[in-house]
């Protein structure tokens, strides 16, 4: 190997080796970064949280509706009836001790919020179901809203709105007026601070309240624009197929969150990199979906870069491997010829010693022909 390197690596090759080393390092960095893109997006990890240590396969899926779809809680009940029928078809059924799925829904709105010190206009997300399992925002104080809440008069503020209204985040139990109706502050949360969500969320100071309460205080009819579910996925594609059959709105957009960062999905994203950014309808994604789509694009870009960086080391690696194989073949051939020559020499010396007693000069070609019986 050292002989091969001495003979084949010259001064000009050092530059090539350095370039390949840099490309290889860049390839590794891009590959590691692409693999870690999903990690900070907690809104995409509900299936893992729901599965826990059970070892069962679950899938997280989202359905996005247009503002004019009119999808509401009656639509959720119809959708769940279809999902439960699909689960029964594969002998899966919820019991009193075991719930097979969990779900959540949400809608955007705008409200005015007032306390004894100040008032503000703020964006609100009306939520239902197990919303904070899907979106486990960091609690600075108090508790989340719960699907088990009997009264729907509790709200969760983000810390920016809490500081603006009260100059503090320790507000659990305080009361505020929202659109002139009293609500109790259940808790205060911090918004996601990961690289994607920080770019996607541009709403400013805001709050969360129950979907029912938002529907009651809103002047216009409030429709659900995002529905999320975690359900069993005993075979790949079962959950997505079941939910697709359950959703009757042709304009709805269904996403399987659990699989969106797989290699196959990432390469599909590369294929539709520009087109996927265009919207031809009035659907507006919630900020967590925009964050996930941004992360998808970033992962696809990093994969492309990693492939490009890999080209140079791979090409030169193949070239040097071929050269090294040829070098080994040449060395083996030379070794073989030396062995053959040594065998022939010994045979020649033995033949001469056995057939020629007196020392004299012989014609080597004649003796070799004689050894092999050639005329």
In this structure, is residue 32 part of a structural domain? no
Q: Are the C-beta atoms of residues 231 and 92 closer than 8 Å to each other?
A: no
Q: What is the largest CA-CA distance in the chain?
A: 131
Q: What is the average pLDDT across 217-236?
A: 91
Whole-angstrom Cα distance, residue 247 to residue 83?
10
Rounded to 5 degrees, φ, ψ at 357 are -85, -40
Top-confidence range, 268-282, 304-318, 333-347: 304-318
Confidence of residue 371 (pLDDT cuts 50, 70, 90): low
In this structure, is residue 94 part of a structural domain? yes
Q: How much is the pLDDT for 18?
A: 85
pLDDT tens digits, residue range 309-342? 999 888 888 888 898 898 889 888 888 878 877 7
**Exposure of 98 by Cβ count < 10 A (0-12 exposed, 13-18 middle, 19+ buried)?**
exposed
Residue 252 has pLDDT above 60, yes or no: yes
Residue 296 has pLDDT above 80, yes or no: yes
Inter-CA distances, 177 with 116, 121, 141, 156, 187, Å:
9, 12, 20, 13, 15
Percent pLDDT > 70 in the chain is: 87
How many domains is the chain built from? 1
Does the predicted model carry a pTM greater than 0.95?
no
Return the closest-CA partner of residue 294 out of 201, 191, 189.
201
Q: Are the C-beta atoms of residues 251 and 65 closer than 8 Å to each other?
A: yes
Residue 287 has pLDDT above 80, yes or no: yes
In this structure, is residue 208 part of a structural domain? yes
Question: What is the CB neighbour count within 10 angstroms for residue 332?
Answer: 10
In this structure, is residue 267 part of a structural domain? no
- Average pLDDT over the chain, rounded to an integer: 86
Question: What is the CB neighbour count within 10 angstroms for residue 47?
Answer: 22
Residue 226 has pLDDT above 60, yes or no: yes
For 143, the domain range is 42-260
In this structure, is residue 158 part of a structural domain? yes
In this structure, is residue 51 part of a structural domain? yes
Residue 43 has pLDDT above 90, yes or no: yes
Q: Are the C-beta atoms of residues 176 and 155 closer than 8 Å to each other?
A: yes
Q: Are the C-beta atoms of residues 223 and 63 closer than 8 Å to each other?
A: no
In this structure, is residue 233 part of a structural domain? yes
Confidence of residue 368 (pLDDT cuts 50, 70, 90): low
In this structure, is residue 199 part of a structural domain? yes
């Amino acid at each position: 190997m050292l002989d091969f390197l001495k003979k084949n690596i010259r001064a000009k090759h050092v530059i090539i080796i350095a370039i390949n080393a840099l490309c290889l390092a860049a390839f590794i960095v891009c590959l590691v970064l692409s693999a870690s893109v999903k990690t900070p997006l907690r809104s995409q990890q509900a299936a893992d949280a729901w599965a826990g240590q059970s070892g069962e396969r679950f899938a997280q899926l989202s359905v996005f509706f247009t503002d004019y779809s009119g999808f509401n809680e009656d639509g959720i009940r119809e959708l769940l009836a279809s999902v439960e029928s699909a689960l029964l078809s594969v002998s899966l059924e919820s019991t009193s001790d075991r719930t097979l799925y969990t779900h959540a829904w949400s809608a955007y709105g705008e409200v005015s919020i007032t306390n004894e010190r100040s008032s503000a206009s703020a964006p609100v997300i009306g939520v239902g179901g197990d919303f904070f399992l899907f979106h486990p925002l960091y609690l600075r104080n108090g508790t989340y809203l719960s699907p088990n809440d009997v009264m729907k008069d509790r709200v969760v503020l983000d810390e920016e709105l809490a500081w603006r209204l009260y100059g503090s985040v320790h507000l659990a139990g305080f009361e505020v007026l929202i659109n002139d109706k009293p609500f109790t502050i259940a808790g205060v949360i911090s918004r996601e601070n990961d690289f994607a969500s920080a770019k996607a969320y541009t709403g400013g100071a805001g709050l969360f309240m129950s979907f029912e309460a938002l529907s009651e205080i809103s002047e216009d009819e409030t429709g659900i624009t995002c529905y999320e579910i975690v359900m069993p996925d005993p075979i790949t594609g079962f959950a997505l197929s079941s939910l697709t059959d359950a959703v009757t709105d042709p304009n709805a957009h269904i996403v399987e969150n659990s699989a969106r960062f797989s290699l196959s999905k990432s390469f599909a994203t590369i294929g539709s990199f520009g087109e996927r950014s265009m919207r031809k309808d009035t659907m507006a994604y919630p900020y967590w979906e925009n964050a996930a789509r941004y992360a998808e694009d970033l992962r696809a870009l990093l994969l492309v870069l990693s492939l490009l960086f890999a080209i140079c080391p791979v090409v030169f690696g193949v070239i040097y491997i071929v050269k090294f194989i040829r070098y080994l073949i040449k060395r083996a051939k030379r070794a073989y010829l030396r062995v053959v020559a040594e065998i022939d020499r010994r045979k020649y010396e033995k033949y001469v010693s056995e057939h020629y007693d007196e020392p004299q000069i012989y014609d080597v070609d004649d003796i070799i022909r004689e050894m092999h019986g050639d005329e």
